Chain A
Amino acid sequence: MKFLLVEDNVELANAVISRIKMDGHVIDHAEKIEDAKLFSDTGEYDLILLDIMLPDGDGRSFLEHHRARNRNTPVIVLTARSEVSDRISLLDLGADDYMTKPFDHAELQARCRAVLRRNHGSSQPVITIGDVRFDPVAGQVLVQGTPVKLRNRELRLFELLINAPNQIFSKQKLFDRLFSFDDDVSENAIEVYIGRLRKHLDGSNVTITTLRGLGYRLDVK
């Protein structure tokens, strides 16, 4: 996916950029509303992450500009202000969602998905491996053409694996992506979810291989 991040705090922007790039996305960064307008007018983005307090004005003015040009790239506002004071007016102005800083990247991703699903638009292609098709935006998995209902964590686990088939994922890596920091579960909980995924993939030619001491890997038979 291609993101546009509008954020004046360079430190924060760098942190967010490196985190988002880690997930294999592309991200442009604008520090000012002027730059953001230029970027959004010329480039094609799947999603815009917009800080609301910017040096050359209020992020809201960018939202107005953006909507006035009939761009329907969804915008998620990142606000550091009190929710109580800002919330409603942001949504009224046409932001698709908002998050308060500091935010959990897993939650950001979840919200991006939700927003994209609502807007039916993303450059993320449907992935096909073996006889399994995966639509990351719709969150849909088809095994031999039949839709399989996966819960959110199962889906996220599957997405991690299918995005890098043949790559080994350690338990820790998977755990970090699946559980939030306040979830009080041990890393062994991953085994449960791997077990479930295997059950869902039953009968297909895609399998999850356990590599003792190393982790898991998605394979096509």
Chain B
Amino acid sequence: MNDQNGDKVNIAGSLRNTLMISLIGGALVLAVILYLVVRTYAAQIAQSTQDRILSASVTSILDAAAIRNEALSVELPYSAFSILSTQADDRFFYAIHQDGRFLSGYEHMVFTETPNGQMKFYAGRYDGSDLRIATGSRRLVGANGQTTLTVSVAQGQQSLAGVLNRISRNAGLLGFGFFALMTLLSLWLTYATIAPLTRLAASVQRRGPEDLRPVAAPVPAEMAPLVGSLNSFMRRLAHSLDQSEEFIAEAAHRVRTPLATVRSYAETTLQRVDKLENRQALRAMVRAIDESSRAAGQLLDHAMITFRADHLRRSKLDLAEVTGDLIRAMRPLADMKDVDLDLSATQQVWIEGDAILLQNALRNLVDNALKYAPAESVIQIIVSDDPANIRVQDSGPGFPQDEIPDLSTRFTRGSNAAETIGSGLGLTIAQDVAVAHGGTLILTNRKEGGACATLSF
């Protein structure tokens, strides 16, 4: 992701993804465990149900056995087998042994000893069927001593398998339902957790570059340190920006006030002095003062503009109006040189820009034109649209043709500028302002003579 200035942001993972993956992953594991537990528990219950039925069957056969007339009599009660009937028509078998001897039933099915009175359950296989077998025994006492009767009843497991299948399916459905519900819940939870972050990011992003007010919207406690740092960052930035502006203004004040004193005195003195050398010295002094104050002014303006170009205070403005205001302010200056400022701005030209910077750029261009324009000439200032541009044309000597590409670089002055006062920053400032507005400064010489500087946006 790139931020507004195109600076790379180092991204490691995503809170949203991490949260979502762990929540959904957790839900999946839980769903599987739920499925397994339910299925196992249900299978155990089903098995114990079958075991109880088998046990009842065995018990009823054992109970029906008796010694009559010194002989063992075993009757197979109808109920002993009727309870074994299942929906799946599971086969069932039985075997009755007396003291280990086969007595009745399916002979090779099974024989196990069991302690008296205790039921034993186990799995077995007979005649191609998986069986569940219950074996119980009973000791019978007669006149001829005692005898041990062992009864085994086996039942096929198809019905149980059916039940297990049904249970598995239901457990599966249960697990899946749980998973689906948890997934929805995870999505919502993720959204709800990330939402304040997203809101904060959006509100910070929505701000203009010079909006350095602290974030006031409520944020969750966990985000408070981050937002606190952000606010303190912005406060410090705003403070340091203010300080820079203040510093530049203060520096200008300190430099220019004494210069103004010297200049005023020099001017006054000039009026009182007649000797040519003294007059020349005073004029040279004033020129030097003008040069240094202009240089100081332009350096400070340049600093301010460089510093402002990073966060332009853009607003929708009419170039024609901005230009008109400036030309009005500069007219007395032009009048003094008997130069006419001819403004031609017939239509409104709307651009997004910083009026102060634009006027400063334009002031430098008009200043330049005033410097080089011959007395009683006309400087044309033309504002036009498509693309929005301001042209400043004079009828002075024009730019030295081969130096045009270098003229707008810092401190370069034209070779024919030797006699005029200027620091060489004027065109640089105009160019910087144009670039900050996404435009250009184009310098050309007019066919009919004179320079033409165009700020084009």
Contacts and interface: CB of A to CB of B under 8 A. Distances in A.
Interface of A: 9, 11-12, 15-16, 18-19, 22, 53, 78, 80-88, 97, 100-107, 110-111, 113-114, 151-153, 156, 170, 172-173, 176, 180-184
Contact of B360 (A81, A84, A106): A84
Contact of B376 (A12, A19, A151, A180): A151
A101 B336 contact: no
A18 B268 contact: yes
A11 B331 CA distance: 30
Contact of B297 (A15, A82, A88, A153): A82
A82 B301 contact: yes
B301 A9 contact: no
B34 interface: no
Contacts of A19: 264, 267-268
A111 B333 CA distance: 8
A22 B268 contact: yes
B255, B258, B261, B283: residue with the most chain A Cβ atoms closer than 10 Å: B261
Nearest to B300: A82
Given A18-B265, A114-B335, 14 more contacts: A12-B260, A15-B265, A15-B268, A80-B255, A82-B297, A84-B301, A84-B308, A84-B357, A85-B249, A102-B293, A151-B376, A153-B336, A153-B375, A182-B421
A152 B264 contact: no
Contacts of B263: 15, 102-104
Contacts of A85: 245, 248-249, 304, 356
B335 A102 contact: no
B306 to A, nearest CB: 11
Contacts of B337: 152, 180, 183
Interface residues of B, number: 54
Contacts of B355: 88
B359 A87 contact: yes
Contacts of B91: none
A80 B252 contact: yes
A104 B270 CA distance: 13
A182 B260 contact: no
A83 B336 contact: no
Given A9-B257, A12-B261, A152-B335, A84 B305 contact: yes
Contacts of B293: 101-102
